[in-house]
Amino acid sequence: MENTLNREFDVDAPDRFWATDITYIKTYEGFLYLAVVIDLYSRRVVGWATHIGYAPAAIEALTISNINNILTNIS
């Protein structure tokens, strides 16, 4: 995937560029993965998810972000 931002994180419009991060939290039952998606313009969280598997957390967070974005822009 091409790096279109080139580390320029100051953007001029909302909902054009999102950034993601995934971290893990150690629990007594194993690891819990937390995936977060933020809008680089407003710096607000547009989606997040937790899951016991790495990939499902990321996919779920992006799906939730897309749904939230659609619902926000309906009006």
How confident is the model over 14-39, as pLDDT tens digits?
A: 888 888 888 889 989 888 888 888 89
pLDDT for 1 equals 61
Is 65 inside a domain boundary? yes
Q: What is the DSSP letter of 4?
A: S
Q: Inform me whether the pLDDT recorded for 5 exceeds 80.
A: no
The boundaries of the domain holding residue 32 are 18-72
- Torsion sign (Cα): 53, 62, 64, 49: positive
Is 36 inside a domain boundary? yes
pLDDT for 56 equals 74
From CA 27, how far away is CA 24, in angstroms rounded?
9
Count of domains for the chain: 1
Is 7 inside a domain boundary? no
SS3 (DSSP) at 41: coil
pLDDT per residue as tens digits for the range 40-69: 999 998 888 887 866 677 778 778 777 777
